[in-house]
Amino acid sequence: MGEYVYIRSMSKNEKDLKNKASNGEAASVSPAEEAILNDTSHRRRDGYCKTLYSRYLNRNLGISKTRCESLNEAVDALHSAVSKLDGSNLQRFDLDQSVGHLLAIFGGIEDLNTFDGVSKEDWNKLKDIQETVRSGSKLYRLKVHNNHWDEELLKPFVPSS
């Protein structure tokens, strides 16, 4: 009890090669293929990325394996949240915005790095928008009612082109 058994699934190609080798068809398995099948370090090297997406980030995009898991978790959380939106909220969120745009807005409002995703003018606008979202519900409603903020600060942020 409490003991985990590591089960690794084999790809169809790997199974085919193993079957050929065990059925006496060793001539159809090259020495290089046989060496790969018998090298246990390949299994260890693939263990760094636990999901297919994190493995994709590493293999296909060349992102460091030390960053793949955290990116995978972030994209998974975003995917999960967006998949729960109904049609009208999904339209408001605007799936056509770039990731850079999304990160720039998030970074600007939350006082984080914007990755140079916005101009100085846009950065200043984000800082002003930040002030509108800092206020709690009652204070926000009072300030809107008293025309404390420019109407543009209460609209979705659109970067200047």
DSSP string, 9-30: PPPHHHHHHHHHHHTT-GGGS-
- Per the prediction, the chain carries an average pLDDT of 79
pLDDT value for 149: 83
Q: How far apart are CA 132 and CA 127, in angstroms?
A: 9
pLDDT single digits (tens) 139-156: 888 888 888 888 888 888
Is a pLDDT exceeding 80 seen at residue 46?
Answer: no
pTM beyond 0.75, yes or no: no
Distance between CA atoms of residues 103 and 21, nearest Å: 51
What span, in angstroms and rounded, lies between the C-alpha atoms of 73 and 64? 15
